[in-house]
Amino acid sequence: MNPEETLGEILGQTPTGVLDSLPGVGVVRASNYGAALGDPHRFVNAAAAYRFSGLVPTDYESAGLRRPGQHISREVSTELREAIIELGRGLASHQPDFGAYKKKKLAEGKKRLV
């Protein structure tokens, strides 16, 4: 059995195993997400897990001055943030609705890696 098959067997026994069935999300991407997330029950809800990834907008304020624009928080799990971004890349390249949404956002001026 090759390493990816072994990983697939283990993944199937975890809550994130269902991700493997999505178009563009294979065993490796789903496993990376599952490993970065850890025990999903430690989060109150999906929003809390997403906040842990640091992909939520944050304001920067210092000495009463605010930096314009919104930025993501970089103070939490880099691994989870990268895993979520990879899930999005896979879905955008293999699932028509996600691909259309990505094209729409790019046409509206959204930067590619934002």
User: For the chain, what are the domain ranges?
Assistant: 3-107
26-30, 70-74, 99-103: which range is least confident on average? Answer: 70-74
Amino acid residing at 34: G
User: Which segments of the chain does DSSP mark as H helices, in order?
Assistant: 3-11, 27-37, 46-53, 78-94, 96-107
In 10 A of CB 88, how many CB atoms? 16
Q: What pLDDT, on the 0 to 100 scale, is given for residue 74? A: 61
Query: Residue 60 pLDDT more than 80?
Result: no
pLDDT classification of 61: cutoffs 50, 70, 90: low
Amino acid residing at 89: R
pLDDT classification of 50: cutoffs 50, 70, 90: confident
What letters, b where the CB count within 10 A reaches 16 and e where it falls short, cover 2-37?
A: eeeeebbeebeebebbebbebebbbbbbbbbbbebb
Query: Could you give the CA distance from residue 105 to residue 34 in angstroms, rounded to a whole number?
Result: 27
Q: Taking residues 45-50, what's their average pLDDT?
A: 88
